[in-house]
């Protein structure tokens, strides 16, 4: 449980740092914002499922992304994951969650695997966003877990 909670602390730290980097670069391209929105919507999809609600109304990809709405979604996700993780027990981690994906196909997956996926999915896309920042002349942020761990322990 401690490792999963720490992975989510890293995720939240990295998301906030990336928002700052995009804002300082001038707001990012539409492609960058579309990808960043996808990261935050995917996190919303999973916390919604974990809370037993349907995600059919959530669109994983959209072209109308803007940094302010991404930041608001990030804050909402952070609060929801903190609440969820605070109430989750070690025993519940191995329980299966039955849910439908965005196409309506039903799956059954252990909560531990879902939470691990959420943390790793965002890491992959944050690397892509950092690359886009660099290509546009912006300054990418170091988001590696070890950087987080060093700062966290200060």
Whichever domain contains 91, its CATH number is 1.20.120.450
Residues belonging to the chain: 154
pLDDT digits (tens, 9 = 90+) for 102-152: 999 999 999 999 999 999 999 999 999 999 999 999 999 999 999 999 997
Q: What is the model's pLDDT at position 154?
A: 59
pLDDT digits (tens, 9 = 90+) for 37-67: 999 999 999 999 999 999 999 999 998 899 9
Domain hosting residue 94, numbered range: 2-152
C-alpha span between 140 and 20 (Å, rounded): 10
Q: What is the model's pLDDT at position 37?
A: 97
Would the pLDDT of 33 be above 90?
A: yes
- Is 117 a known ligand-binding residue? no
Q: Which of 20, 43, 27, 26 is nearest to 123 (CA)?
A: 43
**Which residues on neighbouring strands pair with residue 110, listed in sequence order?**
96
- Is 125 a known ligand-binding residue? yes
> What is the number of structural domains in the chain?
1
């Amino acid at each position: 449980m401690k490792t999963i909670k720490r992975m989510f602390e890293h995720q939240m730290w990295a998301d906030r740092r990336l928002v700052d980097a995009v804002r300082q670069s001038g707001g990012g391209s539409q492609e960058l914002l579309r990808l960043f929105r996808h990261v935050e919507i995917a996190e919303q999809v999973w916390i919604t499922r974990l809370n037993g609600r349907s995600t059919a109304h959530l669109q994983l990809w959209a072209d109308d992304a803007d940094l302010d709405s991404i930041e608001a979604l990030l804050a909402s996700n952070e609060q929801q994951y903190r609440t969820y993780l605070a109430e989750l027990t070690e025993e519940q981690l191995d329980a299966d969650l039955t849910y439908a994906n965005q196409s309506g196909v039903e799956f059954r997956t252990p909560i531990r695997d879902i939470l691990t996926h959420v943390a790793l999915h965002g890491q992959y896309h944050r690397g892509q966003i950092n690359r886009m920042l660099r290509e546009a002349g912006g300054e990418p942020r170091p988001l590696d877990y070890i950087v987080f761990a060093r700062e966290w322990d200060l």
